[in-house]
Amino acid sequence: MHNWNEQDLFLWLKENIYKDLVMSKNQMSRWDCYSPQFKHRIELKCRTKHFNEMLLEKKKYDSMLQECEKHLDIPIYVNSTPRGIYFWNLLKVEPEWETNSKNPASTHFSLRYKISKEVSYLRIEPHNILREL
């Protein structure tokens, strides 16, 4: 799980959890993959460091809930870190939102400047663990 990217995480999920998992057709969509069997619309994040709480952006959360409501899907958020793989059913979390300016504009495309974002931190609990080292 060290240096994993979203493709690695996708392949692990497909092999171990969702045999029917398919990637989003649109690379710019607000979700990364989908399980028709479970009706899970899934957002993937790969972290290079382990934290006891995983950051969730409000814009991502809102768009996932909106998209899932349209299709009667369940929004799932999956994070990998060097220590494990963790997941949250976003219908079952109660995020506490805060605005901070310590996060990069994007983790991709070399946009490393800082901007203010509304975020919440999802605590890792035993029921959120898919795999741990």
Per the structure block, which two tokens stand in for 95?
Answer: 């995020």
- Tell how strand 84-89 and strand 53-57 pair up: unpaired
The predicted pLDDT at position 106 comes to 64
pLDDT for the residue 107: 57
> Which structural domains are found in the chain, ordered by start?
6-94+123-132 (3.40.1350.10)
Distances (CA, A) of 116 to 37, 58, 86: 37, 12, 26
Is residue 43 within 8 A of residue 30, CB to CB? The reply is yes
The tens place of each residue's pLDDT in the chain, 133 residues long, gives 778 999 999 999 999 999 999 999 887 788 999 999 999 999 999 999 999 999 999 999 999 999 999 999 999 999 999 999 999 999 999 999 999 877 666 655 555 677 889 999 999 999 999 999 8
Under DSSP, the state recorded for 105 is S
